[in-house]
């Protein structure tokens, strides 16, 4: 359940989440306590980032047959490979999910989770890059909300995750579709977005070609467009009046008013500054921060447009 953005205190940030239907930061108090789901829309986010890090953000554990939930690192250890320490990485059964269809290890809890309906989708981002992906039925909404595409369409529903991942790989091979898009590419794409027509054209083309492949494979096509959340609208609207935030979110002090969030990409303003900036909130994952209303962003030197 969402809580309000804390007024102060030291936290380890686990990144951004859309699990509740709205964008929020996942925060763990450094002094001990429960995971905080803190909404950011319309809030002012003031904080100071500590120089050390990154720190382990734990793992996802199976809450029951159909749900996973974040489980913070009990020792708040330094992160090793990726965003986990060795202990949390070794206990993370969900890490096998992407290879469950290729003959890798399948823990019992993961097998139960994968043995539920999954959806296959294609998603197109601001720079027209299109990816293919899968989502378990309970996450078929939040999965796309957290990725922040401009457009997405569900293509088909499969009986379980293993079957859908085979089809995902088939579309990757046949249509040369990627299965991942980097956060930096998403951010740059939004910053340069001046016209959504190319993304619409690319998405329509990929949906049509994917449907043809599915039909050839004898898989029933069930096209269901994804509706972007209202919170993403401003960040995903073309405009020349927004700039990339010029400071590293992982260092120093920052004071940001959040107006829109597309996935982890946020459209913000600064105190005393009418300009809009785009930044990637996922950069805070694994970082220790101190929250406070008195924190301010450093001055930003902006070169005005000449034409």
Asked if residue 70 has pLDDT above 70, the reply is yes
125-156 pLDDT tens trace:
999 999 999 999 988 889 999 999 999 999 99
Q: Would you state the pLDDT for residue 114?
A: 81
Asked if residue 306 has pLDDT above 60, the reply is no
How far apart, in Å, are the Cα atoms of 156 and each of 134, 135, 187, 227? Answer: 10, 11, 29, 17
91-122 pLDDT tens trace:
877 666 666 666 666 767 777 778 889 999 99
238-269 pLDDT tens trace:
976 789 999 999 999 999 999 999 999 999 99
What's the rounded Cα separation, in Å, for the pair 203 and 300? 36
Nearest to 44 by CA among 12, 10, 5: 5
Q: What value does the mean pLDDT of the chain take? A: 90
Q: In terms of pLDDT, which residue wins out, 178 or 59?
A: 178
Q: In terms of pLDDT, which residue wins out, 80 or 234?
A: 234
Q: Would you state the pLDDT for residue 10?
A: 96
Asked if residue 307 has pLDDT above 60, the reply is no
């Amino acid at each position: 359940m969402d809580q309000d953005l804390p007024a102060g205190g030291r936290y380890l940030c686990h990144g951004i989440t859309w699990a509740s239907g709205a964008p929020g930061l996942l925060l763990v108090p450094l002094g001990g306590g429960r995971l905080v789901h803190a909404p950011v829309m319309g809030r002012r986010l003031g904080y100071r980032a500590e120089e050390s890090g990154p720190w382990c953000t734990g793992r996802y554990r199976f809450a029951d047959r159909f749900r996973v939930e974040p489980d913070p690192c009990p020792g708040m250890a330094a992160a090793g490979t990726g965003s986990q320490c060795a202990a949390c990485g070794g206990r993370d059964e969900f890490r096998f999910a992407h290879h469950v269809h290729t003959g890798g290890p399948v823990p019992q809890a993961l097998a139960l989770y994968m043995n539920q309906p999954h959806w296959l989708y294609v998603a197109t981002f601001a720079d027209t890059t299109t990816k293919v992906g899968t989502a378990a039925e309970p996450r078929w909404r939040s999965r796309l909300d957290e990725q922040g595409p401009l457009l997405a369409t569900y293509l088909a529903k499969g009986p379980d995750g293993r079957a859908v991942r085979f089809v995902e790989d088939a579309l990757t091979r046949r249509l040369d579709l990627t299965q991942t898009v980097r956060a930096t590419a998403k951010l740059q794409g939004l910053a340069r977005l001046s016209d959504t027509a190319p993304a619409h054209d690319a998405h329509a083309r990929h949906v049509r070609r994917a449907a043809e492949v599915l039909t050839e494979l004898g898989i029933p096509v069930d096209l269901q467009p994804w509706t972007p959340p209202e919170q993403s609208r401003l960040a995903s609207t073309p405009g020349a009046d927004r700039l990339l935030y010029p400071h590293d979110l992982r260092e120093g002090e920052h004071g940001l008013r959040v107006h829109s969030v597309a996935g982890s990409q946020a459209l913000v303003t600064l105190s005393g500054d009418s300009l809009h900036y785009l930044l990637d909130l996922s950069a805070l994952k694994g970082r220790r921060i101190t929250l406070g209303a008195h924190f301010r962003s450093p001055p930003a030197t902006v070169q005005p447009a000449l034409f």
